């Protein structure tokens, strides 16, 4: 395995690592349901994109079972 002849300075090491950051996803508010969604994608909550309904999403109903 290759070994460096000289030690790299801290500044040189940090310059090399400047692009190793984690970026957060860009989120915007949906114009219909006002929830945060990824940019340039159909809203996963209401199915709208640019004020047009692209996919039909059925709302799940919470059915509570009554015991007794």
- The predicted-structure confidence for 10-52, as pLDDT tens digits, reads as follows 999 889 888 888 888 899 999 889 999 998 899 999 998 988 8
Domain boundaries, the chain: 26-58
Taking the whole predicted model, whether its pTM rises above 0.85 is answered as no
Q: Assess contact for 49 and 41: CB atoms under 8 A.
A: yes
Q: List the one residue out of 36, 33, 29 whose CA is nearest residue 53.
A: 33
Strand, helix or coil for residue 13:
helix
């Amino acid at each position: 395995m290759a070994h460096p002849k000289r030690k790299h300075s801290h500044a040189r090491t940090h310059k090399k690592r400047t692009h190793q950051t984690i970026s957060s996803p860009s989120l915007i508010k949906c114009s219909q349901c006002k929830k945060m969604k990824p940019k340039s994608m159909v809203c996963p909550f209401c199915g709208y994109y640019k004020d047009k309904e692209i996919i039909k999403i059925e709302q799940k109903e919470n059915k509570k079972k009554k015991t007794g």
